[in-house]
Amino acid sequence: MINLGPGGTAGLGYQEGIQEINKLGLQALEVEFTYGVRMKNDEAKMVGELAKKLGIRLSVHGPYYINLASEDKSKIEASKKRILDSCEKAHYLGAKYVVFHAAFYGKHSKEECYQIVRKEVFDLQKTMKQKGWDDVSLAPETTGKGSQFGDLDELVRLAKETGCHMCVDFAHLKARNNGKIDYDEVMQKIKFMKHVHSHFSGIEWTEKGERRHLLTQDKDIKELLSALKKHRIDATIINESPDPFGDSVKSMKIRALL
């Protein structure tokens, strides 16, 4: 099964946004805390109950200001707090996955950065268990720039070694590889997951990687959906284009034709 929905509510607010998602026939919503976790637990619980009633799958996107491999230890601790704050809200929302951009390589080698992130993920999971948030899974995201930790192989390895989940941003994978993506290869690498949480949109890139998200083209939607169907992968696709509602509905129409 492939679930479709937008990242955020396009300014509608979560109560109205969830109603609109249901009205459009979509199945998912990513609650965005990208600029800070400001939702109260009571509100999160109310939003989660509405989503559950309407059959809408919720996920959470944590703040952008995260770097688990910073050379400044205080920034690592601040990053972990932002992730844990997101996990707390996810728990009350009934959201399964907390998505975040894990780190920058900085002066570290790729392997050094990986080991640091791995250690911090284990520590986060320990705290989540102590807090009783076992229903929430960390989902570090594939990133769109070569300076960022989070190529596909790194996150597959991290998921297998720590038991965390991962968010496969297919647009980021394209931007990271100059617009090229071998879907058969990608699907083979991620099919070990029972459910794939993912992002998609159009994307503009430079030699350094991701520049900005664009509207999602029909041919790109069809290519991704066809690959998921071919490899029988159960997935949620959160659209992050400038028109996430419109592009999610377009994706739903294309899905019905495949």
What pLDDT shows up at residue 209? Answer: 85
Q: What is the pTM of this model?
A: 0.97
Report the distance separating Cα 103 and Cα 175, nearest Å.
18
Identify the three-state secondary structure at position 9. Answer: coil
β-partners of residue 197 are 167, 236
CATH classification at residue 114: 3.20.20.150
What pLDDT shows up at residue 208? Answer: 87
Identify the three-state secondary structure at position 10. Answer: coil
Strands across the sheet with 57-61, in order?
Answer: 28-32, 57-61, 97-100, 137-140
Mean pLDDT along residues 49-73: 97
Q: Which amino acid is at 183?
A: Y
- Number of H-type helices and E-type strands within the chain: 9, 12
User: Which of 52, 35, 51 is CA-nearest to residue 86?
Assistant: 35
What pLDDT shows up at residue 110? Answer: 97
CB 184 within 8 A of CB 222: no
CB 48 within 8 A of CB 95: yes
Please give the residue range of the domain that contains residue 139.
Answer: 2-257
What pLDDT shows up at residue 158? Answer: 98
Identify the three-state secondary structure at position 101. Answer: coil
pLDDT tens digits, residue range 7-56? 999 999 999 999 999 999 999 999 999 999 999 999 999 999 999 999 99
CB 233 within 8 A of CB 187: yes
pLDDT tens digits, residue range 167-226? 999 999 999 999 999 999 999 999 999 999 999 999 999 888 899 999 999 999 999 999
β-partners of residue 167 are 141, 197
What pLDDT shows up at residue 45? Answer: 97
CB 136 within 8 A of CB 90: yes
Strand bridging mode 148-149 / 103-104: antiparallel
Mean pLDDT along residues 85-95: 98
Q: Which amino acid is at 204?
A: E
Residue 58 above 90 pLDDT?
Answer: yes
CB 57 within 8 A of CB 90: no
Report the distance separating Cα 227 and Cα 134, nearest Å.
32
User: Which of 1, 10, 102, 9 is CA-nearest to residue 58?
Assistant: 9
CA dihedral angle for residue 82, residue 87, residue 88, residue 91, rounded to 10 degrees: 160
Number of structural domains (the chain) is: 1
β-partners of residue 86 are none
Among 145-149, 204-208, 243-247, name the one with the lowest average pLDDT: 204-208
Mean pLDDT along residues 113-139: 98
Could you tell me which residues come within 8 angstroms of residue 72 by beta carbon, excluding any fewer than 6 positions away? none
